[in-house]
Amino acid sequence: MLKEAIYHRPKDNYAYACTNEELHIRIRTKKDDMKEVSLLNGDPYDWQDGKWNTNTVPMIKSGSDQLFDYWFVSIKPPFRRMRYGFILNDGNETACLTEKGFYDEPPLDDTGYYYAFPYLNNIDVFRAPSWVKDTVWYQIFPERFGNGDPSNDPEGALPWDSAPPERDNFFGGDLQGVINNIDHLAQLGITGLYFTPIFKAYSNHKYDTIDYMEIDPQFGDKDTLKKLVQVCHEHGIRVMLDAVFNHSGFYFPQFQDVLEKGAESPYKDWFHTNEFPLVMEPRPNYDTFAFEKSMPKLDTENPEVIEYLLEVGRYWVREFDIDGWRLDVANEVDHSFWRKFRTEVKAIKPDLYILGEIWHDSMPWLRGDQFDAVMNYPFTTNILNLFARGTISVKEFIENMTTVNHMYPKNVNEAAFNLIGSHDTPRILTECGGNEDKLKQIFTVLLSYIGTPCIYYGDEIGMSGPQDPGCRECMKWNEEDQNQDMFEHVQKMIQLRKEYPLLANEGELHFIPSNYHESCFAYTKSNGETTIMVVVNMSDEEASYPLPFNLKGRKIANIYTGEEYAAESDDLTAKIAANGFALFQF
């Protein structure tokens, strides 16, 4: 038994409340080391004859990555209190792990040895809005989705799709353009729109905010936004806006005032600086995002800034009924601010979705007091590395995905914002070298995986484009420029995800071991009664894939093609097309 490999620490991803009566407990052990792991547990105050009363429940192996196995159990402590330890059996020896270390036998003279989940308080349960886990998002870069109102086009705007996208060109896209094209979105079946910034800003991407309280006039006005939200809601589509609270744009009037007046400016404490006047060369004497002098970092510890930004957060929810906030560079703003932000915006709309842009391990923001989710870039990276770049094997893909799944609580994973590309990255089809089969496979995985998937505008019609600005082409509205086959695939996968909750966030995901088949990998989603199995063929040849279950006498459906089979023998072997996939239900 490799004791050094064993890890457990209460809260976070290892011991958390999943509902107001259910705890999830996990433990990590060396890969293939343990035969059995179980959870010794009891109410801390339940004693009899000087001995603590305990139960022992078996844990299941919920996944394995490169170095470790993960064990899991869900448990409902009758009085919402629990002390617990682990009984570990590697086939040769048994040990009891407590908070105070390892014991040969569980000590029962005191609960003080044990890990504690002292009380399952309802209010501390992590709860993303319940609608999120069933949502399929669609990301819109407003300057490039549709031009619904030529009257607001910026000076020098080019005719739609008449030129490649550049850092500083404009095509006149706007909010009315989204309203006008709502049928495309409704037909596709998406149920959430994520807009990159729409507030007044200088650039075409609008991340350089000038006024957080105004719609950029190139995009329309507040009435247009109201109409847009209304139209979306009528179509069952939620609306999420993007806010940049880490730093302002260069032309933010408060920053301009400090540039101009220095220490005399009433806004001199809105930024991070101790020296006046502000200088930008050779190096700014104020804090910035990265080393970008035109992006001055806001001082989110200054009560005036806090109140200003909180009112921004509240205003668009209160007045425009938006459903989510996506927060740019969220990891560089203080936790204290995000706690206030959550409290304020959720007071107006309790089921508002708060999504942070964080690229790395995000547990400290996902403890229920700050965000509901982060952008799931590890998902993106693993998908790209496997399908597009071919830099990892299926084995590594499964291990990496398992690592990420076990870094967070299950209820956190369900709300994770899974993306395969954005306005910041080459388009996914371009990453795939134009291979449409691979893209279809990626959409199949995206739309059958744990989390809340997002489609970058145009990817569903097979648009391509390199690293930004290349990935920000105008949406192709001419049908002949649209890949209808791809559209129909995405549409069908979205439809299936709605029809079969197992494809979304119902049930448990398990990967079939990577060595089971030489060219296909697979995972199941199961609720204990029904299982859906996603099989993906990574090779250029058709594969025979024997389903790794005894299905004799069961009905099996390929829910993608609608074919049904009755398994007549123990072994059912399916044909999976070259670079294809299948979705079996049984």
Write down the least CB distance from residue 179 to Ca ion, Å.
12
**Residue 79 φ/ψ, nearest 5 degrees:** -110, 20
Q: Which does 331 bind (CB under 5 to 8 A by kind): its own copies, Ca ion, none?
A: its own copies
Q: 235 is written with which tokens?
A: 């179509």
Q: Give, rounded to a whole angstrom, the gap between the first and last alpha carbons of the chain.
A: 38
**Residue 461 φ/ψ, nearest 5 degrees:** -115, 20
Q: Which does 147 bind (CB under 5 to 8 A by kind): its own copies, Ca ion, none?
A: Ca ion
Q: Are 415 and 326 in contact (CB under 8 A)?
A: no
Write down the least CB distance from residue 142 to Ca ion, Å.
10
- Kindly state the greatest CA–CA separation across the chain: 86
Q: Does the footprint of its own copies cover residue 2 (CB under 8 A)?
A: yes
For residue 154, is the peptide bond before it cis, meaning its omega torsion is within 30 degrees of 0? Answer: no
Write down the least CB distance from residue 442 to its own copies, Å.
20
Distance of CA 330 to the CA centre of its chain: 14
* Candidates 126-134, 184-192, 232-240, 361-369; binding stretch for its own copies (CB under 8 A): 361-369
Q: 28 is written with which tokens?
A: 């990590």
Among 93, 274, 360, 561, binds its own copies (CB under 8 A): 360
Q: Which parts of 125-262 are beta strand (E)?
A: 137-140, 192-195, 199-201, 209-215, 238-243
**Residue 407 φ/ψ, nearest 5 degrees:** -80, -15
**Alpha-helix runs per DSSP H in 277-409:** 303-320, 335-348, 377-383, 394-407
From the CA atom positions of the chain, what is the Rg in Å?
26
For residue 513, is the peptide bond before it cis, meaning its omega torsion is within 30 degrees of 0? Answer: no
Q: Which is nearer to Ca ion, 147 or 418 (CB)?
A: 147
Q: Which does 207 bind (CB under 5 to 8 A by kind): its own copies, Ca ion, none?
A: none
DSSP structure class, residue 133: G
Q: Are 363 and 407 in contact (CB under 8 A)?
A: yes
d(CA 543, CA 217): 55
Q: Which helix (H) or strand (E) holds 179?
A: helix 175-180
Write down the least CB distance from residue 551 to its own copies, Å.
36
Q: Which residue is nearest to Ca ion (CB)?
A: 172
For residue 469, is the peptide bond before it cis, meaning its omega torsion is within 30 degrees of 0? Answer: yes
DSSP 392-426: S-HHHHHHHHHHHHHHS-HHHHTT-EEES--TTS-
Residue 24 has a CB neighbour count (10 Å cut-off) of: 19
Q: 341 is written with which tokens?
A: 């932000």
Within positions 127 to 186, which residues make up the interface with Ca ion, using CB under 5 A?
A: 147, 149, 152-153, 172, 174
Write down the least CB distance from residue 373 to its own copies, Å.
17
Q: Does the footprint of its own copies cover residue 45 (CB under 8 A)?
A: yes
Among 22, 99, 221, 257, binds its own copies (CB under 8 A): 99
The contact pattern for its own copies, residues 159-198, with x = CB under 8 A and - = no contact, is ----------------------------------------
Helical axes 303-320 vs 222-234, angle rounded to 10°: 50
Among 290, 347, 566, 577, binds its own copies (CB under 8 A): 290
Among 335, 395, 552, 555, binds its own copies (CB under 8 A): 335
Q: Does the footprint of its own copies cover residue 79 (CB under 8 A)?
A: yes
* Candidates 1-9, 153-161, 274-282, 430-438; binding stretch for its own copies (CB under 8 A): 1-9
Q: Which of 69, 149, 328, 399 is catalytic?
A: 328
Write down the least CB distance from residue 477 to Ca ion, Å.
14
Q: Which does 172 bind (CB under 5 to 8 A by kind): Ca ion, its own copies, none?
A: Ca ion
* Candidates 39-47, 161-169, 210-218, 513-521; binding stretch for its own copies (CB under 8 A): 39-47
Write down the least CB distance from residue 87 to its own copies, Å.
19
Within positions 126 to 145, which residues make up the interface with its own copies, using CB under 8 A?
A: none
Write down the least CB distance from residue 161 to Ca ion, Å.
14
In this structure, the strands spanning 373-376 and 353-356 are parallel
Task: Mark whether 357 is an active-site residue.
Answer: yes
H helices, E strands: number in the chain: 12, 30
Among 53, 55, 187, 336, binds its own copies (CB under 8 A): 336
Task: Mark whether 369 is an active-site residue.
Answer: no
Q: Does the footprint of its own copies cover residue 103 (CB under 8 A)?
A: no
* Candidates 53-61, 286-294, 477-485, 553-561; binding stretch for its own copies (CB under 8 A): 286-294
**Residue 260 φ/ψ, nearest 5 degrees:** -80, -50
Q: Which residues pair with 510 in a beta bridge?
A: 524
Q: Does the footprint of its own copies cover residue 107 (CB under 8 A)?
A: no
Residue 131 has a CB neighbour count (10 Å cut-off) of: 15
Among 89, 230, 331, 495, binds its own copies (CB under 8 A): 331
Q: Which does 79 bind (CB under 5 to 8 A by kind): Ca ion, its own copies, none?
A: its own copies
Q: Give the residue numbers annotated as catalytic, written as ranges.
A: 328, 357
Q: Which residues bind its own copies (CB under 8 A)?
A: 2-5, 7, 9-11, 30, 44-46, 66-68, 79-81, 99-101, 112, 114-116, 118-119, 121-124, 287, 290-291, 300-301, 331-337, 339, 358-361, 363-364, 368-369, 377, 381, 400
Q: Which residues bind Ca ion (CB under 5 A)?
A: 147, 149, 152-153, 172, 174
